[in-house]
Structure 1
Amino acid sequence: MKTLSAALLVVLAISCKDSKPGVSADQAETGSGKIAFVTDRDGNPEVYIMDGDGANPENLTRHDSLDFSPSWSADGTSLSFYSKRDGNAEIYRMDLQTRQLTRLTNHPATDVLPVPSPDGSQILFMSDRDSLSRNVYVMDKDGSGIRQLTRNAAYEESPEWSPDGSQIAFTRQLRDSSDTSHAGNGEIFLMDAQGGGVKRLTDKEGYDSGAKFSPDGSKIAFYGAQEDQWDLYTINADGTGLQNLTNDAIECYSPDWSPDGEWLVYTAGSKGNYNIWKINIRTKERVRLTRTSGRNEAPSWGR
């Protein structure tokens, strides 16, 4: 979340413009599945899970170091995330039944943003271990067999598998060599699961990141900046049909799909106060799921 840390010190639990005020979790319909997210309500960033309607939040990590970016296994039995509990950012997996924690990487470089594959055999992650920049890597589910998929000096982030595991979406930061006035423009790219066939998906002004495939693979949700405002967007998987979903007066970012593809869970707010919301793709109904001060972010909806 390097880009967000610099650009998004945001979130107020208010509703979005051009919409009715969001309703609280106890007014919402019963949600489905579990949502993992990160919150600093206990004093530092911890991984929590809650019901799909925001009820029953539970602290899973309970550690005084940063724990961030949870991602579900396809069968819902474990969460992968990264943590600085051993001195630098490494990737871990937690078995949700036993709460047993397994460290998967062990390298002096920064290893972050793990995403298990749909078949459970591999995990995507980002690392700067090649000293070029932060690039996309993949490893076997037990941390062995690490392979580098991208290799360039451009900063990259937010890897994501397609539902069938054949493609990987990720963000690559592009910069005009003559422009030193601001951070490079982030665009979303696609490649095959072996790192080949790289192609650019988005081509819009402003930084775009956080791509997530819909459960059926037909659409991709992401967050993007336009005129210094972060909103949620959807686009067809072939790059057509770009739509601003939130068009919000506050910051909206880090979307993830509900198992039925009808909702996106996301982070929204401003002025240092972030909460978790969800929005219906068709009706644009918004529901607030957390209601605390500080930061609630990086939601991931269990399939």
Structure 2
Amino acid sequence: MNRLFLLSLLWFCFKSISADEARLMRFPAISDNQVVFSYAGNLYSVSTQGGIARKLTSHEGLEMFPRFSPDGTQIAFTGQYDGNTEVYRIPASGGIPMRLTHTANLGRDDLADRMGPNNIVLGWSPDNSIIYRSRKQTFNSFKGQLFEVPAEGGLSSQLELPEGGFLSFSPDGQKMAYNRVFREFRTWKYYRGGMPMRFGSMIFQPGKLIK
């Protein structure tokens, strides 16, 4: 399912909302016949055929970066509750969020920051763990590492990589393509200055890197 289709579907939903209530729809993700996205700080889902979007969350804090589990029954997302940004999970049909990570507050932890917030959910691994990017182990706000946490909760573990950004797994789950530097926010997004070699995508297998 290409990006143009997702944008077209979100535009269809946007047109069905009155002008007084319309806000920016962001971070769409797709699974089979459902699309989930963030709107006005909450998560919504809608059929890929279009229709009325259903609200999945209602907390006062922001919910963003939703990602479906491989079987489409769960949604992991980044939530800003109680002044902190953590990884949460809910059923794809909605429900009470389950907190999966517990990290310290960071000085730069805002959606408007050019490096984005902390603990950004990036996706699910083939073995049903949630992959997220966190700056909890670095004093450099420009760098972050990739971690995975079990969907049922527990301790997080760092992937065997020094740093990382967006990623994607191969169909057989044996390889992972990823960006070493996360640059999806503001001035980093189209940066072409220093560290150009660190911006390329790479392929990762357990125990080794394949350029």
Smaller-chain TM-score range? Answer: 0.5 to 0.7
SS at match of 1:89: strand
Q: Measure the CA separation in 1 of the matches of 2:171 and 2:192.
A: 38
The answer (yes or no) to whether the contact 1:115–1:161 under 8 Å persists in 2 is no
The answer (yes or no) to whether the contact 2:56–2:94 under 8 Å persists in 1 is no
Query: Percent identical across equivalent pairs?
Result: 24
Match of 1:70 among 66, 70, 94: 66
Q: Measure the CA separation in 2 of the matches of 1:89 and 1:49.
A: 22
Aligned to 1:136: 146
Structure 1 unpaired stretches of 5+: 1-13, 16-22, 26-31, 175-179, 201-303
The answer (yes or no) to whether the contact 1:126–1:135 under 8 Å persists in 2 is yes
Q: Measure the CA separation in 2 of the matches of 1:76 and 1:95.
A: 9
Normalised to the residue count of structure 2, the TM-score between the two structures is 0.64
SS at match of 1:118: coil
The answer (yes or no) to whether the contact 1:80–1:114 under 8 Å persists in 2 is no
SS at match of 2:84: coil
Aligned to 1:35: 35
Aligned to 1:46: 42
**Partner AA of 2:120 in structure 1:** V
Q: Deviations over 1:122-163 (max 9, x none)?
A: 1211111211521111222223242212453x6x31133323
Aligned to 2:167: 159
Aligned to 1:220: none
The answer (yes or no) to whether the contact 1:160–1:169 under 8 Å persists in 2 is yes
Q: Measure the CA separation in 1 of the matches of 2:174 and 2:155.
A: 19
Match of 2:133 among 126, 129, 132: 126
SS at match of 2:165: strand
Structure 2 unpaired stretches of 5+: 1-6, 14-31, 106-117, 183-190
SS at match of 1:129: coil
**Partner AA of 1:191 in structure 2:** F
Q: Deviations over 1:196-237 (max 9, x none)?
A: 32233xxxxxxxxxxxxxxxxxxxxxxxxxxxxxxxxxxxxx
What pairs up with 1:93-132 in 2 under 5 angstroms? 93-97=89-93, 99-108=95-104, 110-120=118-128, 122-131=129-138
Q: How many residues align?
A: 160
The answer (yes or no) to whether the contact 1:138–1:147 under 8 Å persists in 2 is yes
**Partner AA of 1:190 in structure 2:** I
Higher share in strand: 1
Higher share in helix: 2
The answer (yes or no) to whether the contact 2:56–2:93 under 8 Å persists in 1 is no
**Partner AA of 1:165 in structure 2:** G
**Partner AA of 1:142 in structure 2:** E
SS at match of 2:95: coil
The answer (yes or no) to whether the contact 1:173–1:184 under 8 Å persists in 2 is no
The answer (yes or no) to whether the contact 1:136–1:159 under 8 Å persists in 2 is no
Question: What displacement does 1:114 show?
Answer: 4.1
The answer (yes or no) to whether the contact 1:113–1:158 under 8 Å persists in 2 is no
Question: What displacement does 1:167 show?
Answer: 1.8
Higher relative contact order (CA 8 A, sep 6+): 1
What's the C-alpha RMSD, in Å, of the aligned pairs? 2.9
Q: Measure the CA separation in 1 of the matches of 2:91 and 2:159.
A: 27
Q: Measure the CA separation in 1 of the matches of 2:134 and 2:12.
A: 38
Aligned to 2:54: 58
Q: Measure the CA separation in 2 of the matches of 1:115 and 1:107.
A: 19
Residue 150 and residue 119 in structure 1: after superposition, are their counterparts in 2 closer, same or farther (change >3 A)?
Answer: closer
Match of 2:200 among 187, 200, 207: 187
Question: What displacement does 1:94 show?
Answer: 0.3
The answer (yes or no) to whether the contact 1:65–1:84 under 8 Å persists in 2 is yes
